């Protein structure tokens, strides 16, 4: 992993910034979004810093894709949404706000407004409760 001391996601990977982690392996980390678009909104990132799709290595891209599938399946099983939106943006004009490659896994319900993030943080207790449900589904 490259040391990008100003990157919030690199800080999460290093353990310098707290996050409610759902899953971790050699190449990836999945954690709850603190400003979720919907309950269960999860992020999957590579441990190695890459600003966007154009910079990520093929190994890390494949690892993030596999982890995103694993987490999406667990979210689907644990929360039973009507659908799941998988989102990845590149550059500020596309809506990217953290410049470390990441994939959003957003559970969606029929009629739900499609937005990337809410403006307020959710309580850690609420996130931990959702995380426990998703983690149990990851194990099955």
Tens digits of residue pLDDT in 70-116: 999 999 999 999 999 999 999 999 999 999 999 999 999 998 877 66
pLDDT at 103: 98
For 8-133, CATH gives 3.30.428.10
Per-domain residue ranges of the chain: 8-133
Is residue 13 within 8 Å of 47, Cβ to Cβ? Answer: yes
Instruction: Please give the positions annotated as active site.
Output: 102
Residue among 32, 46, 26, 29 nearest 134 (CA): 32
| pLDDT at residue 75, rounded to an integer | 98
- State the average pLDDT over residues 119-126: 84
Instruction: Please report which confidence band the pLDDT of residue 1 belongs to, taking 50, 70 and 90 as the band edges.
Output: very low
Inter-helix orientation angle 58-79/124-139, to 10°: 100
Q: Could you tell me the pLDDT band of residue 119, with boundaries at 50, 70 and 90?
A: low
Best CA proximity match to 22, nearest among 64, 71, 69, 58: 71
At a CB cut-off of 8 Å and minimum separation 6, what does 41 contact?
Answer: 32, 33, 104, 105, 106, 107, 117
pTM of this structure: 0.93
């Amino acid at each position: 992993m490259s040391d990008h001391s100003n990157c919030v996601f690199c800080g999460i990977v290093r353990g310098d910034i707290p996050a409610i982690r759902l899953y971790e392996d050699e190449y990836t980390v999945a954690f709850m979004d603190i400003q979720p678009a919907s309950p269960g909104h999860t992020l999957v990132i590579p441990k190695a810093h890459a600003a966007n799709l154009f910079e990520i290595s093929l190994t890390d891209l494949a690892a993030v894709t596999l982890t995103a599938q694993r987490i999406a399946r667990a979210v689907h099983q644990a929360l039973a949404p009507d659908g799941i939106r998988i989102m990845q943006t590149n550059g500020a004009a596309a809506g990217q706000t953290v410049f470390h490659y990441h994939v959003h896994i957003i559970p969606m319900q029929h009629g739900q407004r499609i937005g990337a993030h809410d403006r307020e943080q959710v309580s850690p207790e609420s996130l931990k409760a959702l995380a426990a449900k998703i983690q149990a589904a990851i194990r099955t």
